[in-house]
Amino acid sequence: MAARARSAAKAGNQSFPGIDALETLDRWSRSPTPGRRGKLGAALGRVVEAAGGRGGLIAIAAPPLPEAAFGFGSLAGQTVEGHDPSVALTRHALRGGPTSLGTLWLDAPDEARDPAVHAVALVLESAWSRATVRNTVERLEALDEATRGIAAVLDVDRVLQLIVDRVRELIGARYAALGIVTPDGDIERFITSGISDQVRDGIGPPPHGRGLLGLIIREGRSYRIPEIAAHQDSSGFPPNHPPMTSFLGVPVAVKGRPIGNLYLTDKRGAVEFSAADQDIVELFAVHAGIAIDNARLHEQVQRLAVVEERERIARDLHDGIIQGIYAVALSLEDVPDLITDDRAEALGRIDRAIDALNLTIRDIRNFILGLRSEFVGGADLEAGLSTLAQDIRLNSAIDVSLDVESAGMAGRALSTDDRVQLLQMVREVLSNAARHAHASVATVRLAADAAAVTVTVADDGIGFDVAAVPGSGHLGLANVRDRAARMAGSAIVESRPGAGTRIIIRLPRRDGDNAP
């Protein structure tokens, strides 16, 4: 059955040689080998013969179809320059609508010329349409892959280099560059692709935004130029610059604000860049602007996070350790006079200062160990809390016990960043219990439900009147409240004088961005 179907299809194509020629031309356009070109010549010969002609010469010039010139039918194996002069040829321009497809020279009687030209043009136009659609789909797929690739990168320098590399590959340009401009229109950064470091060093300083580059900056629109040197705004190239001919420049904007321009030169396999090339680069430029903006925002967030963490550490140090050292310094101010007037008191102060400094050293060590435990155990909440409890027990007078409910469930309910933040808050609470509450015992209880993860820290310290202490009165607790609020959670403080303190930290589950 299958063999009969193929035979029937083949017979049908022979009855309609245009269909066979179209399929042969389509296969040749995908892989223009000499063997397939020979089959294409035979197929076109049958098309012309069906219209009453004898043969001809054809020059195909219709990108994305491959360029080719060959004879078929009565002129098979001949060229325009070397055809038999005894054969009278007539020249015909092949067009498909407004698109130029190539040129056909016919060996045919007068009455067969128009039908033969129409038949060949129809086959060529159909093949050109297929190749154009196929090429557009492939380029859009490549565009999607390229934009996904740059969107995943959050380092600004890497994003900029990746943009120029990808757009050069996408369009098939020999060279590409991305110029980042200042609000005044000067190029402050110039990232290149296709030029070696050695060649770039030989060129000298990057451009300032004159000539064609400045034209795009000033006018804020795309330019497609077949010959750079022939353009009125071209200012030439500096010494050691590689020669460049065709040019395509497209602006890059972020939220309507121009930030730079993409420049491509020397289209491979063509005299100049096409309108389709410009459309693709303009689409790519939109995604490039978004990627640049995302990378810049990520860097700003990282810088803010570093500043915030430095400020938190500074507040912690000021609230306890620095004040302790300052108190020791004050107690030692009168020691030189006391050595003469009251030697016993002077020696007592020195002994007390030594004890206080030893306690401060212990506090500093606890502080450093606490920071370490946050990140050592950051990937696993239960392990992090266990490490933190052990550090506090070993380096302070407080005994810390850990009670975990639904082992494993709580850790999987939070992202890695959330777990690190929670460990930092627990460290803050335990440090306060050891330094300020003078607690001897503390319990850390970890639990999770369908909505949130809860950590409760209870101590047997001196406690305080929560209502009488303003929010800024205990910087450590203020830090905990601030952190919890930024994570859409809460930190509730329960305490009264002489009855210890209990702090309940509750954070919403974030299973979606969690790495188990």
Provide the token pair at 214: 């400045």
Point out the least confidently predicted range of 41-45, 139-143, 225-229.
139-143
Model confidence at 377, pLDDT cuts 50, 70, 90, reads very low
**What mean pLDDT comes out for the span 238-247?**
89
Average predicted confidence (pLDDT) for the chain = 82
> In this predicted structure, what is the pLDDT of residue 227?
92
DSSP single-letter state for residue 497: T
284 vs 516 pLDDT, higher one: 284
Provide CATH 3.30.450.40 ranges for the chain: 153-293
* Neighbouring-strand partners of residue 404: 446
Provide CATH 3.30.565.10 ranges for the chain: 377-513
Model confidence at 462, pLDDT cuts 50, 70, 90, reads very high
Q: Cβ of 63: how many Cβ atoms within 10 Å?
A: 16
Residues 6+ apart with CB under 8 A from 6: none
> In this predicted structure, what is the pLDDT of residue 126?
92
| 128 has a pLDDT exceeding 50 | yes
- What is the Cα–Cα distance from 371 to 349, expressed in whole angstroms? 33
| 512 has a pLDDT exceeding 70 | no
Peptide bond into 64 cis (omega under 30): yes
| 408 has a pLDDT exceeding 60 | no
2 vs 32 pLDDT, higher one: 32
**What mean pLDDT comes out for the span 416-430?**
82
Q: Over pLDDT 90: what percentage of the chain? A: 30
Residue 464: exposed, middle, or buried by beta-carbon count in 10 A (0-12, 13-18, 19+)?
Answer: buried
DSSP alpha helices (H): ranges in 377-510? 381-395, 409-412, 416-435, 475-486
- What is the Cα–Cα distance from 256 to 210, expressed in whole angstroms? 23
Fold of 2-139: Beta-Lactamase (3.30.450)
Dump pLDDT digits (tens) for 146-168.
788 787 777 888 888 999 999 99
- What is the Cα–Cα distance from 47 to 421, expressed in whole angstroms? 76
Name the 3-class secondary structure at 239.
Answer: coil
> In this predicted structure, what is the pLDDT of residue 359?
73
Q: Over pLDDT 70: what percentage of the chain? A: 87
- What is the Cα–Cα distance from 465 to 401, expressed in whole angstroms? 25
Q: Cβ of 404: how many Cβ atoms within 10 Å?
A: 18
CATH class belonging to 153-293: alpha beta
Point out the least confidently predicted range of 13-22, 40-49, 74-83, 198-207.
13-22
Dump pLDDT digits (tens) for 194-207.
998 888 888 888 78
| 513 has a pLDDT exceeding 60 | no
Dump pLDDT digits (tens) for 43-69.
999 999 999 999 999 999 888 889 899
SS3 of 340-403: the string is HHCHHHHHHHHHHHHHHHHHHHHHHHHHHHHHHHHHHCCCCHHHHHHHHHHHHHHHCCCEEEEE
Residue 390: exposed, middle, or buried by beta-carbon count in 10 A (0-12, 13-18, 19+)?
Answer: middle
Structure pTM? 0.54
> In this predicted structure, what is the pLDDT of residue 211?
77
- Specify the CATH number of the domain 377-513: 3.30.565.10
| 444 has a pLDDT exceeding 90 | yes
**What mean pLDDT comes out for the span 340-364?**
79
- What is the Cα–Cα distance from 199 to 203, expressed in whole angstroms? 6
**What mean pLDDT comes out for the span 459-466?**
90
> In this predicted structure, what is the pLDDT of residue 245?
92
> In this predicted structure, what is the pLDDT of residue 13?
43
- What is the Cα–Cα distance from 254 to 289, expressed in whole angstroms? 5
